[in-house]
Structure formats: structure tokens, C-alpha cells
Structure 1
Amino acid sequence: MATRTDAPTRREQILKEAARLFAERGFHGVGVDEIGAAVGISGPGLYRHFPGKDAMLAELLVGISEQLLTGAKRRLAEADGQVGAEAVLDSLIEGHIDFALDDRPLITLHDRELDRLRDSDRKMVRQLQRQYVELWVGVVREVYPALGEPAARSAVHSVFGLLNSTPHLGRPGVLPGRGATAELLHRMARGAFAAAGV
């Protein structure tokens, strides 16, 4: 899930393979034994790390929502008045593009399986997502002061829809290089905000 330079832990390996398999075949189409085989341990061995598939799904979906919000807050804190709102918006877009390109299975998983979470976990995901959206809305309104709050919120959701379309762009080997894809998505996101702010 997170971009790391050190080797992933066994728990992170399990989550990565679970996300991939759930995205490919659906939550109910994947057994614990298959997830275990993908990381080289027995299915029952997974229970040392997770109580079951439901716990994996919850950690994946709550975890990515926490990661996006934490990353966005960090980007704002790093800016801390040192750069203008346009640069902050660019930084937020870059962070979301990294997620959209690097964690494509999680986008598919969120779209298909969010309703399978326990109520408390689903509410947590929604709460984190609302905070993430509101953070973006504040920055967008700084860049485009004439944009009212409801319109800014709609623009943010629309840009998320655009950026989160990466699972539909084709297999990674079919896409242009990662850098070219990221640049295209960035231009399109800024274009969408500019159009909304006119």
C-alpha cells in the first residue's frame, strides 16, 4: 500500500496479495488458502496475522483512507505558508496520483467491496474520506476564491473520479510510462479545477 524503500513485512505482503486477489476475483471468490499460497504460507498460517478475510478487507480499506488523509495533512504541514495555494494543490494532486497509479487494486476493491465492511469500519472509511475531501476543498477554494463551497466539493469529487479511473486504463504494460501517465492525469485534474473555477 505505502511506497517504501525497505522490504515489506509479512503482514504487508499478505495485504498486498489479498488486495490483488480480491480486486481480480471478488471478496467471496478468494479463499484464505489462496492468499496464503500467494505469500508462501499455509492458509491457517494467515490467522497468526489476521482473524480472517473480513479483517484483511477492513484493514485495506480503512488503511488506505488513513494513508491518503495522513499524506495530505503532511503535504499541507510541509507547505505551512512557505508556498502558495497553487503549489499545495499540485502537491495534493501528485499524492493522489501516486495512490491511483501504485494502488490500483485498492480502488477496485473500494468500489466493489466497501459495503461488505462491518458498519463501524464502513463509517470509519466514510469519516476519513470526508476529512480528506474537506481538506482538498479548502485548498481548491484558496486557488479559486470565486468557487463556492458546494461547487468546490463537486469539483473535488469529480477530480477524484478522474484520478481513480486508473484501473480502467488497461494493464500496466499497455499504459504509457508511469511518468507520462502521471503528467497526463495531473494536467487533466488541473484543467478540471480550472474549468470549475471560471
Structure 2
Amino acid sequence: MVAERSELGLASARPDGDPTPRRRPKNRKVQIVRVAARAFAERGYHPVGVDEIAAEVGISGPALYRHFKNKYALLVAAAEMGAQQLLDAARAADDPKLEAEPRLTKLIRGIADYTNEVRREGGLYRWERRYLEREDRDRIRVMYVALHETVAVPIRELRPDADPVDVTLLTAAVLSAIGSITHHRTALSTTRLCALLDDICWSILRTELPPAPPPATGDPILRGLPVISKREQLLTEAIRIFGRQGYHEASIEEIGAAAGINASSVYRYFSSKADLLAAAFNRTGERVAIGNAEALSEATSRADAAVRIADRFARMTFAMPEILPVYFSEFSNLPASEQHRLRSIQRQNVLEWANLLDGDQVEARFRVQAAIGQVIDVGRRIHFDGRPENLARVRALMQAVLLGVEEKS
């Protein structure tokens, strides 16, 4: 289904018994923040302890508290530094004196270079921001709005006749494609990676988006009937609650209440909260595998099959938009054996999709991950409004990422 965040924990940066005295580096605070950002991004905010971060830096817990009063302060600092440095990288690469195309080329390269440099911690804000208090989240979001506008300006110049809504969507799609490399650990040299991201981004920028739907009025139209199975209701409500407030903040009592039963009754269906989480991931993996098989059976070509998979994946995600963020942010809460089994299933689903694309298979896997990113990030931008026109626009962006778009003469 999706790529994995790293399963590696923290390893001490200072060998045991090393007698060599160490001077405190001038950038100690920055070093602590970088280590914390990487740990939170790879394993999630809650599972990581302050003592682990301190050990990785090579200091004691009390020494770390001289810089940060608690773990939350570390999360804020890590998210803020990541946003500011990404914005700084974009502004440093931007050259308003250039025409739109070379300006965008420099911007894409600058953002891609920085994102690749911080690849292991680059997804922190994306997946852990719900743990930030509203005031901190809003302050950090201002930087991402500024980043978005930095990229949007030359896109408007490149496509002066484009609807402002389309420019917003294309900007989100470009940034999503670059940011998708933080989702997985597939190896590719820096030179090849930057060239691939450049190609993907320009395919996005050349995409002719289908018309947007009219502004929504009134309450959204609800489609489908609710299931009566309590087990299915529990799975659905658990993912919604995990997505809204995080796995560690959710309780069995709350999940049971959302499904209309008490906590003790939940245990008739699932042995633990982790069992609920694993079952939800398993169910999603099964649905993706079924969707892949259906797409293959209906397709007239390999490219057609890749687009059909994209369409099914988008529709499935829009129907339950919390599932992918929950996967990326909460996967480390599963037992190691369950992580390994699920990761194998999800890798197989990605490979099934990537094998339909021409060219190098490593690059094909990158394209699949970037296509998955379009569903998440563009979906968020349009609030996962699942009207057919919106799904067609997301599908067009995914197709561009997977198959490319030829430059018009």
C-alpha cells in the first residue's frame, strides 16, 4: 500500500567507555533538535523518550533539559526548525529575475536538494503535527503557507491563464512529489533522484487538469449505507479516532462508545488497541490487493492498469482519508512481528503497481510513492471532497506522476 517509515531505533552516538573528553559544540541545541526530529519522524512522537534522544546526542538527560524543558518543547523546536529551513532553502534557490521556467527549475532543485538532505526527518510536521497545540501549529503553518506561495508565484507566470484554484492544486502537487521521498528508504543516487524529481514535477506542471467542481453548497451528500457488523464499525471508528487525536491519546472506551458499545464489549472483537490498529492496516492492505487485481483484469495495457490502480487507490483513500496518515504516524506502535508482516504485504502492493511502469524499476517505485503522495496532500488541500470532478483531478495528477506528460511543442 504505502512505504515504510524506518524501523530502526536510536543508536548511541558515543561508544561506551570512551574516555576522550568532549567540548560542548557550539551547535549543541541544533544537534539535539535534529536528532529529535529524526526520532519523532521515524518512530512517532509518543514512543520516543527524552533519554534516548540525549543518548544519541551523547549527553545526559539532565543536560538535555538545560536546553529544552520537556519533550513537547523538543517537538515544537523540531517542527519549527524544519519548516523554517525548508522555506529558507526555497527562498535561497528562488530568483525572481529569471523567467518562469528556469526559475521553477532552480526552485525544484533547491527544495529537492534540501529535502533529500533531511530525508529521514523531513516528514515530521506532516505526520506528527496533531500533537502540536493550536497556537504552535498555526505559527508553523504560516511558514508552509509562505513556502507554497514561493512556488506558486512562478507557476502563475508559467501558466497565466490557469484558474487560481488550479495553481493552488499544482503547487501542492509539486511540493507533495518532492516531499514523498521522506516516506520511504528506496535507494537512488542524489543525481538520479534530483533528475527524477525534476521530471515528475514538470510532468505535474504540464498537466491539464479536468474542470473543478462548483463550490459545495449545503451539507455533503452521504453515499452508502452503514455496516451493521460491530467489528467493522469498531475498525472504522478506531481509524477515525486515531487520525484525529493519535493512537496514544485514544482509548478503548472512546472507540467503543463511537461504535455504540462499552469497553468490555470491544474486547470480544479485539484483544487490544494494537490489535485494532493491526486489523485496520490488514484490511486496507487486502483492499488494495483486491483493487490491484481488479485493475489488472480490466486493463487493456500496462499503462491503463497503472491508471486504473491509481483511480481505485484514490477512491479508497477519499472514502477513509485517515488511514494513510494513521499508517505513517502509528505503524511503529505495532509489535515488530506484525510490522514485518504488514510491510511485506504493502511492499508487494507497491511492486505490483511499479512493475506496470516502463523504465528502471527503482525509479518506478519512486513514482508510485509520489503518486500516493498526491492522494494524501492534494486530498488534504481539497478536504477529501470525493465528488467525481475532484477525483478526476487527483487521478490526472497521479497519471502525470506515474506516466509523465510530454512537453508541448
Does the 8 Å contact 2:123/2:183 carry over to 1? no
When the two chains are superposed, the root-mean-square deviation of aligned CA atoms in Å is: 2.0
Give unmatched runs, 5+ long, in structure 2: 1-24, 210-407
- Superposition pairs of residues 67-146 of structure 1, within 5 angstroms: 67-76=85-94, 79-81=95-97, 83-146=98-161
Distance in 1 (alpha carbons) for counterparts of 2:111 and 2:29: 24
Contact kept, 8 Å, 1:136 with 1:156, in 2: the verdict is yes
SS at match of 2:52: helix
Paired amino acid for 2:176: G
Please say if 1:179 is aligned against 2:194: no
Please state how far the C-alpha of 1:168 moved relative to its aligned partner. Answer: 3.0
Deviations, residues 154-190 of structure 1 (Å, cap 9, x unaligned) = 01111111111112342xxx51211111110111101
Computing the radius of gyration over CA atoms, which structure comes out larger, 1 or 2? 2
| In 2, Cα distance between equivalents of 1:165 and 1:128 | 19
Q: Is the 8 A contact 1:141 1:148 kept in 2?
A: no
Counterpart of 1:4 in structure 2 is none
Q: Confirm or deny: 8 A CA contact 1:147 1:196 kept in the other structure.
A: no
CA displacement 1:79-133 (0-9 Å, x = unmatched) = 342x212111111111211232111233332222101112111001212111221
Name the counterpart of 1:22: 40
User: What is the match of residue 182 of structure 2?
Assistant: 167
- Is the CA contact (8 Å cut-off) linking 2:122 and 2:182 kept in structure 1? yes
Residue number among 71, 85, 105 corresponding to 1:53 in the alignment? 71
Change (3 A) 1:73 1:178: closer
* Identical amino acids, percent of aligned pairs: 32
SS at 2:160 equivalent: coil
Q: TM-score, normalised by structure 2?
A: 0.43
SS in 2 for 1:175: coil
Unaligned runs of 5+ in 1: 1-6
Is 1:195 aligned to residue 207 of structure 2? yes
2:56 paired residue number? 38
Partner of 1:155: 170
Aligned equivalents of 2:44 and 2:58: distance in 1?
Answer: 21
Q: Deviations over 1:24-73 (max 9, x none)?
A: 22111111110010011001110111112111111111222222223333
SS at match of 2:123: helix
Indicate the larger mover: 151-160 or 90-99. Answer: 90-99
Q: Is the 8 A contact 2:76 2:132 kept in 1?
A: yes
Shift of 1:136: 1.4
Question: 1:162 corresponds to which letter in structure 2?
Answer: A
Q: AA paired with 1:88?
A: R
Q: Which residue of 2 aligns with 1:66?
A: 84
Shift of 1:8: 7.2
In the aligned structure 2, how far is the partner of 1:20 from the partner of 1:135? Answer: 26
Deviation at 1:147, TM superposition (A): 1.6
Contact 1:61–1:110 (8 Å) recurs in 2: yes
